């Protein structure tokens, strides 16, 4: 099952959902605020991205307020922060059974979802 964690008022998330609908991809949508990704999903995504910083919404207010760009976090610390506030997570957050990415780029999503 394809899972998308999104923030309803985020225009990039809206574009991503329109893309999925246009390509008739069945997916499950989750509010990144109400139900952020689980610890295992965050760990899985880190495995796909290879860089902890890519999980963070680095342009977000909360990220800047906490001065996270100036800190070096261990994965356990980062995951605890991400689970505590979904606004810290880069969105949309796309997970498939075999791949995942954050942010929305048509080319990347097409490749991951095997859309030609």
Share of the chain above pLDDT 70, in %: 100
CA 41 to centroid of chain Cα atoms: 10
Give the per-residue pLDDT at 21. 97
pLDDT score, position 7: 96
Strand partners, 48: none
* Segments of the chain scoring below 50 in pLDDT: none
Res 90: pLDDT: 98
- For residue 116, the model assigns a pLDDT of 78
Residue 90 to residue 6: CA distance in whole angstroms: 9
Residue ranges covered by each domain of the chain: 2-112
Which pLDDT belongs to residue 10? 96
Q: What are the φ and ψ backbone dihedral angles of 100, each rounded to 5 degrees?
A: -170, 160
92 touches 104 (CB < 8 A): yes
Q: Are 17 and 4 in contact (CB under 8 A)?
A: yes
Domain 2-112 has CATH 3.40.50.720: no
Query: Which value, to the nearest 10 degrees, does the dihedral of the CA atoms of residues 72, 81, 2, 20 take?
Result: -80
**39 SS3 class:** helix
Question: Model-level pTM?
Answer: 0.93
């Amino acid at each position: 099952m394809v899972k998308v964690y999104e923030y309803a008022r985020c225009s990039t998330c809206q574009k991503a959902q329109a893309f999925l609908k246009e390509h008739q991809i069945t997916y499950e949508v989750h509010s990144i605020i109400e139900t952020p990704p689980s610890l295992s999903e965050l760990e899985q995504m880190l495995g796909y991205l290879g860089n902890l910083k890519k999980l963070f919404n680095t342009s977000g207010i909360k990220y800047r307020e906490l001065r996270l760009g100036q800190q070096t976090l261990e994965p356990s610390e980062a995951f605890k922060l991400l689970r505590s506030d979904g606004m810290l997570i880069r969105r949309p957050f796309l997970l498939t059974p075999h791949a995942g990415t954050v942010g929305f780029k048509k080319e990347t999503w097409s490749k991951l979802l095997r859309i030609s």
